[in-house]
């Protein structure tokens, strides 16, 4: 079976335009391959993320990781964290196991069925996949969702409350 298909667009270019700010990581780099320890078949450790320069009106944050290159129509949600207070501007390496989340923050069930970070895991031999690690600056202290929401539903709700986004897009590929 061939996995040849068109390249998916940048999913955030399809949404209404919002401001931007900066997200950095000591573990992953924009446009560079993710180390195996952060991948699903290896260490499955969430990378460190920190952010700055967000709008003054920000009242909370959400963090997501999405792969638009998965060979399915909906892409693949690897991680979604909501309810991050504005006093928090970093998630430590490994926070995706739930132990490093700030008070009030919670993880949603990802497309692997886990309320945790699931690292990159593209099919062997498929093209290079992009992983959009995004910090969303929101204009409300909390979205009207809970842990039972899906990342897609979180994203739908964020469209109406996003002031700005910070995007970091590393890549990953499994040799065929």
1 within some domain:
no
66 pLDDT tier (thresholds 50, 70, 90): very high
173 pLDDT tier (thresholds 50, 70, 90): very high
2 within some domain:
no
Average pLDDT over residues 137-159: 97
12 within some domain:
no
Whether pTM > 0.85 for this model: the answer is: yes
**Parent domain of 48:** 19-172
pLDDT at 125 (0 to 100): 93
Q: Is the pLDDT score of 140 beyond 80? A: yes
pLDDT at 84 (0 to 100): 98
1 pLDDT tier (thresholds 50, 70, 90): low
Q: Decide: residue 7, CB within 10 A, 0-12 exposed, 13-18 middle, 19+ buried.
A: exposed
Average pLDDT over residues 99-120: 96
13 within some domain:
no
E strand or H helix at 78, and its extent? strand 76-85
pLDDT at 137 (0 to 100): 98
82 pLDDT tier (thresholds 50, 70, 90): very high
pLDDT at 165 (0 to 100): 98
CATH code assigned at 36: 3.90.280.10
pLDDT at 2 (0 to 100): 78
Number of domains in the chain: 1
pLDDT at 41 (0 to 100): 85
74 within some domain:
yes
pLDDT at 175 (0 to 100): 86
Gap between the Cα atoms of 133 and 149, Å rounded: 19
Average pLDDT over residues 53-77: 97
5 within some domain:
no
66 within some domain:
yes
């Amino acid at each position: 079976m061939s996995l040849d298909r068109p390249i998916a667009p940048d999913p955030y270019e399809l949404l209404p335009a919002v401001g931007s700010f900066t997200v950095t990581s000591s573990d992953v780099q924009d446009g560079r391959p993710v180390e195996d320890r952060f991948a699903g078949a290896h260490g499955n450790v969430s990378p460190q993320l920190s952010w700055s320069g967000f709008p003054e009106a920000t009242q909370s944050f959400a963090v997501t990781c999405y792969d638009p290159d998965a060979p399915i129509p909906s892409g693949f949600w690897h991680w979604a964290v909501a309810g991050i207070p504005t006093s928090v501007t970093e998630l430590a390496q490994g926070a995706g196991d739930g132990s490093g989340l700030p008070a009030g923050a919670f993880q949603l069930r990802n497309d692997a069925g886990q309320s945790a970070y699931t690292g990159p895991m593209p099919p062997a031999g498929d093209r290079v996949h992009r992983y959009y690690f995004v910090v969303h600056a929101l204009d409300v202290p909390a979205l009207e969702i809970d842990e039972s929401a899906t990342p897609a539903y979180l994203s739908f709700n964020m469209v109406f409350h996003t002031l700005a986004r910070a995007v970091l897009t590393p890549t990953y590929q499994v040799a065929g």
